[in-house]
Amino acid sequence: MGYGCCGTIMSCSTAPITNRNQVTFFPESVINSQAASAYAAFKKKAKLSEDKETLKLIEDIGSKMKIAISTYFSSKKLNDPTKDYNWEYILVDDDKTLNAWCMPGGKIAVYTGILKVTKNVNGLANVMGHEIAHAVAKHSVERASASLALNVGTTVADIFLGGAIGRTRNTVGRTTGVDILQVGIFNPFTRTQETEADYLGLAFCSMTGYDLYEGIELWKRMKEFNKGKEPPQFLSTHPSSENRISQIRSWIPTIRKNFPKIDNI
């Protein structure tokens, strides 16, 4: 461990389960604290659904995954990345938004709009597994660190290059509407995280006994719902639905073998 730019602590670590190398500049405790504050503020402003039955379903799925994740890491004698999480769940009354997310520290929100695509408990579990995976893999810490490193690095380089990076970025942006740093660096980086979350989410679904093949059906429904409106993958922070369907199908046999259902969940 050493010290990085701006006096922050830089550490090299690996993502849980996948063991992908990560470099972080921010303590996870700081990110989790900020997320808790943001979540509390969001709950005050958001319109929360009165559908107690669906909220209970969300809580049940989350509780099972919470137990499964902790049990898995304990069985492997590994540090549980969720040990300090204070899990919370809300259902946001917004039928136009197809979204769900999990903030660092286990702060989860599901929008009623996504229920049109999840359709059933297994579809909802696959979505929640994916979102919980982002938190477990510390993707927010990684993104914040990458953003800081890129901004500082490109600023320093631009000084030595007489502003060439900035001029090129602005010219390409005006001509094509595309930010070359976003497309060339951040989009592939975040797609890597999305793919990792797909894999880990399947693992969490497998350990809790939910249907992995419903993940394929979920993305088929998402593709149909979007009806060809998805941007080209190189312009997106997410893999295309078609790529996700193919990859999830190829992963399922290995996931079932390596992450069998945990008893008594």
Active site residues: 131
AA identity, residue 181? L
Between CA 114 and CA 142 the distance in angstroms is: 26
Segment (H or E) for 2? strand 2-3
Task: Collect all residues with Cβ–Cβ distance below 8 Å to 212 and sequence separation of at least 6.
Answer: 126, 202, 205, 206, 248, 252, 255, 256
What are 90's two structure tokens? Answer: 């809300």
Task: Collect all residues with Cβ–Cβ distance below 8 Å to 3 and sequence separation of at least 6.
Answer: 9, 10
Q: How many CB atoms lie within 10 A of CB 84?
A: 11
Between CA 191 and CA 238 the distance in angstroms is: 5
Q: How many CB atoms lie within 10 A of CB 85?
A: 20
Determine the number of helices (DSSP H) and then strands (DSSP E) in the chain.
10, 6
Task: Collect all residues with Cβ–Cβ distance below 8 Å to 28 and sequence separation of at least 6.
Answer: 104, 138, 141
Segment (H or E) for 9? strand 9-14
> 47 to each of 5, 95, 167, 252, how far by Cα in Å?
40, 11, 43, 37
